[in-house]
Amino acid sequence: MAQVAVPETLEAAPARPTTRKGSGTGDTIFAFLCRAAAALVLVLLGAIIVELFLGGLPAFKAFGAAFVTSTEWDPVQEIYGAGVPIYGTILTAILALLLAVPVAFGIAFFLTEMAPDWMRGPVGTAIELLAAVPSIIFGMWGFFVIVPVMAGTIQPAIIDTIGELPLIGSLFQGPPFGTGLFTAALILAIMVLPFIAATMRDVFLQVPGVYKESAYGLGSTRWEVMRKVVLPYTRISVVGGIMLGLGRALGETMAVTFVIGNANRITPSLFGPGNTIASIVALEFGESGAGSLKLSSLLALGFLLFVISFAVLALSRWLLRSRLKG
Amino acid sequence: MSATTSPMPNSSVPGRAKDRATSEALGRRRARADAIVRVLCTAATILGLLFLASILLTLIIRGAGGISLSVFTNVTRPPGSHGGLLNPIIGSIIQVFLATIVGTPIGMLVGTYLAEYAGESRFGQVVRFVSDVLLSAPSILIGLFVYQILVLPFGGFSGWAGIVALAIIVIPVVVRTTEDMLRLLPNTLREAVIGLGAPKWKMIVLVCWRAAVSGIITGVLLAVARVAGETAPLLFTSLGNLNWSLNLSQPMSSLPITIYSYAGSPYEDWITLAWTGALIITLGVLGLNIAARSVLRARR
């Protein structure tokens, strides 16, 4: 057998290119399809940027660079500026992170170091399910459940206590509408909470067991292991996870639309109404005719939002790259 | 960390008793800090679970009462005339189904490219990065984009535009899971297939895809769950339609858009319908998520 087989393979060797070519057409087509699909993703991103920019071009032309900083939004006189929604977007997103990050850290710490094994799966799944709840449901829940509580108890209490303080007091004054920037930030915090918690949990789990066991072996408490071993080891990825949450918070639309109060002016109080880029686009789009300067301004706002969230998400990916490779 | 081995340099009266007292105090402080943090972290977890419970309870309390046969058999009608949600439900099913049909093959091909062809190439890394950015990009911008390319030039809102917008959201979800699942396959599997003389495309389609099918199904279920609740992109594309219409060239009704407009209305029965729709959609989305998880778990 072997004697027959050896010359056969030797003879087959020169003939190989032709047989390869036969099956090669299938390979060529399939590889082309895969590559074309991959290229389509790049084209999509490029097209989104270009289309939003072109759509916003009339507004950029009409208002110049001042569009980004102007706080005017006057449909009657056709003067539009991005200042108020940009302020609202950044303020609510940052505030949401301030509220969400400590809680997300607590959940990740609980799930990785504290919870008994049987509890980790179900609790982790429940937190992840919170991330799956559609945005509009958060909006309805926020509007019908959280807003009355904010207006009835939480905001009056804060206004009467913190609002009386010098300096920071002015941030917490004004009538307790229930809606407004602060409530929007609170809903956003609840929405990004599961994303940040899940990322933190995943990166905490990647700390080699030996490191933690060494620290435990020296008599460290769980908190000390977290603070002096796990956090230093994972801090870059943790920041990446927070950035991922920030990216989500910046572009969240429906939930914010329900509770933000829809006002196009900057109020000094966090309890005042406002707008984010996403919410103003959703709320004002219906009243903007095709080809109008207002529609162009909304598209220009969309372009700005894309630039901001692209930068934040790119930073997040870059910080998380070590985790993704691992 | 260990307290007993560190003598106090400033202590004027060094001695065993003093050392022990200091170390005991330090030990107590460490234990106290640990206990406080653990209580706070447990509280954080309970808080997170409470949010989910509160949302679900609110949906059930306000929405379950409105569930009746007429919700599923009647079309949307003016307030006070016993309308249902038939056309939004059908419209959502059509749009989500077609968006998945369009987006899944593209996403699978991209994921396959990243796992089987790209290697560490620059192009592959850029595609992976862009796909990840699209995964988290604000969905409202995808709606505005489709408005620009399909609604404005072709003279109106349409079901097709909604389908394209949702398909763009489906693609990166499927890319992510397809690539991850293909990467989990052992290389010996590929070598065995190639060793038998099969061309690469047959190896991928007949062996790798089949071996990763549970993971890919998980990705598709997650993608369906994601787009089923999407509202913002549809505002600018399929718009919503209060009349019965299966024409994809016309504005098309969808459950999230109907919930949005009904929840903001001043009519009691419309608001009740909005809650019922919200309950239906949330149960559907969470059910799909749980199904996706169990598909993956059953396979492992």
Average pLDDT over residues A219-232: 93
| Domain co-membership, B93 together with B59 | no
Q: Quickly state the pLDDT bin for B36 (edges 50, 70, 90).
A: very high
Q: Give percent of chain B with pLDDT exceeding 90.
A: 78
| Domain co-membership, B50 together with B161 | no
DSSP string, A140-154: HHIIIIIHHHIIIII
Rounded Cα distance, A280 and A87, in Å: 12
Q: Which of residues 165-194 of B touch A (CB under 8 A)?
A: 168, 171-172, 175
Q: Quickly state the pLDDT bin for B3 (edges 50, 70, 90).
A: very low
Domain locations in chain A?
A: 84-284
Q: Do B38 and A114 touch (CB under 8 A)?
A: yes
Mean predicted lDDT score pLDDT of chain A = 89
Interface membership of B291 toward A (CB under 8 Å): no
Does position A119 have pLDDT exceeding 50, yes or no? yes
Residue of B6, B50, B139, B145 to mutate when probing chain A, most A C-beta within 10 A: B145
Among partner residues A37, A42, A316, which is closest to B109 by beta-carbon distance? A37
Q: Which residues of B touch A251 (CB under 8 A)?
A: 137-141
| Domain co-membership, B91 together with B218 | yes
CB B133 within 8 A of CB B155: no
Task: Tell me which long-range contacts A162-168 makes (C-beta under 8 A, separation of at least 24).
Answer: none
- Final residue belonging to a domain, choices B66, B87, B122: B66
Average pLDDT over residues A55-78: 92
Interface membership of B126 toward A (CB under 8 Å): yes
Does position B135 have pLDDT exceeding 60, yes or no? yes
Does position B6 have pLDDT exceeding 70, yes or no? no
Q: What is the pLDDT of residue A11?
A: 43
Interface membership of B202 toward A (CB under 8 Å): yes
Interface membership of B227 toward A (CB under 8 Å): no
Q: Do A103 and B48 touch (CB under 8 A)?
A: yes
Q: What is the pLDDT of residue A288?
A: 86
Distance (Å) from the alpha carbon of B232 to chain A's nearest alpha carbon: 6
| Domain co-membership, B259 together with B158 | yes
Amino acid (one-letter) located at A294 = K
Q: Quickly state the pLDDT bin for A9 (edges 50, 70, 90).
A: very low
Comparison of pLDDT for B300 and A140, the residue scoring more: A140
Q: Calculate the alpha carbon distances from A244 to A68, A82, B7, B47, B248 in Å.
A: 24, 24, 45, 21, 35
B126, closest residue in chain A (CA to CA):
A42
Q: Do B110 and A299 touch (CB under 8 A)?
A: no
Q: Give percent of chain A with pLDDT exceeding 70.
A: 91
Interface membership of B293 toward A (CB under 8 Å): yes
Mean predicted lDDT score pLDDT of chain B = 91
Tokens 């009691």 found at: B268
- Final residue belonging to a domain, choices B66, B85, B112: B66
Rounded Cα distance, A39 and A25, in Å: 21
Amino acid (one-letter) located at A111 = L
| Domain co-membership, B48 together with B176 | no
> Per residue in A244-270, is it b (16+ CB within 10 Å) or e — as a string?
bbbbbbbbbbbbbbbbbbbbbeebebb
Residue of A21, A28, A34, A299 to mutate when probing chain B, most B C-beta within 10 A: A34
Q: What is the pLDDT of residue A67?
A: 92
The yes/no answer to whether this complex scores an ipTM above 0.85 is: yes
Residue B264 within any structural domain of the chain: yes
Does position B5 have pLDDT exceeding 60, yes or no? no
Among partner residues A105, A134, A278, which is closest to B138 by beta-carbon distance? A278
- In total, the C-beta contacts within 8 angstroms joining chain A to chain B are 260
| Domain co-membership, B173 together with B94 | yes
Domain count, chain B: 2
| Domain co-membership, B132 together with B119 | yes
Interface membership of B199 toward A (CB under 8 Å): yes
Task: Look up the pTM and report it.
Answer: 0.90
B132 contacts: CB under 8 Å, gap ≥ 6: A313, A317, B172, B176
CB B123 within 8 A of CB B160: no
Q: What is the pLDDT of residue A173?
A: 83
| Domain co-membership, B58 together with B136 | no
Q: What is the pLDDT of residue B223?
A: 96
B282, closest residue in chain A (CA to CA):
A133
| Domain co-membership, B95 together with B217 | yes
Residue B54 within any structural domain of the chain: yes
φ and ψ at residue B16, rounded to 5 degrees? -60, -40
Residue of A30, A297, A299 to mutate when probing chain B, most B C-beta within 10 A: A30
Q: Do B149 and A41 touch (CB under 8 A)?
A: no
Reported as a single tens digit per residue, the pLDDT across B169-184 is 999 999 999 999 999 9
CATH code at A84-284: 1.10.3720.10
B203 contacts: CB under 8 Å, gap ≥ 6: B190, B193, B194
Q: Which residues of A touch B103 (CB under 8 A)?
A: none
A81 Rama sector, left if φ>0, alpha if ψ -120 to 50, beta otherwise: beta
Reported as a single tens digit per residue, the pLDDT across B216-254 is 999 999 999 999 999 999 999 998 888 888 899 999 999
Interface membership of B41 toward A (CB under 8 Å): yes
Q: Quickly state the pLDDT bin for A167 (edges 50, 70, 90).
A: confident
Average pLDDT over residues B8-14: 52
Q: Give percent of chain A with pLDDT exceeding 90.
A: 74
- Final residue belonging to a domain, choices B41, B66, B91: B66
Q: What is the pLDDT of residue B9?
A: 52
Reported as a single tens digit per residue, the pLDDT across B53-81 is 999 999 999 999 889 999 999 999 888 88
Q: Quickly state the pLDDT bin for B207 (edges 50, 70, 90).
A: very high
Rounded Cα distance, B255 and B279, in Å: 11
Does position A2 have pLDDT exceeding 50, yes or no? no
Interface membership of B139 toward A (CB under 8 Å): yes
Q: Which residues of B touch A250 (CB under 8 A)?
A: 138
A52, closest residue in chain B (CA to CA):
B145
φ and ψ at residue A215, rounded to 5 degrees? -65, -45
Average pLDDT over residues A41-68: 95
| Domain co-membership, B73 together with B60 | no
Among partner residues A39, A102, A130, which is closest to B52 by beta-carbon distance? A130
B202: domain CATH number is 1.10.3720.10
Give the residue numbers spanning the domain of B56: 29-66
Q: Do B141 and A111 touch (CB under 8 A)?
A: no
Q: How far is CA B222 from the centre of its chain?
A: 6
Reported as a single tens digit per residue, the pLDDT across B93-117 is 999 999 999 999 999 999 999 999 9
Q: What is the pLDDT of residue B13?
A: 55
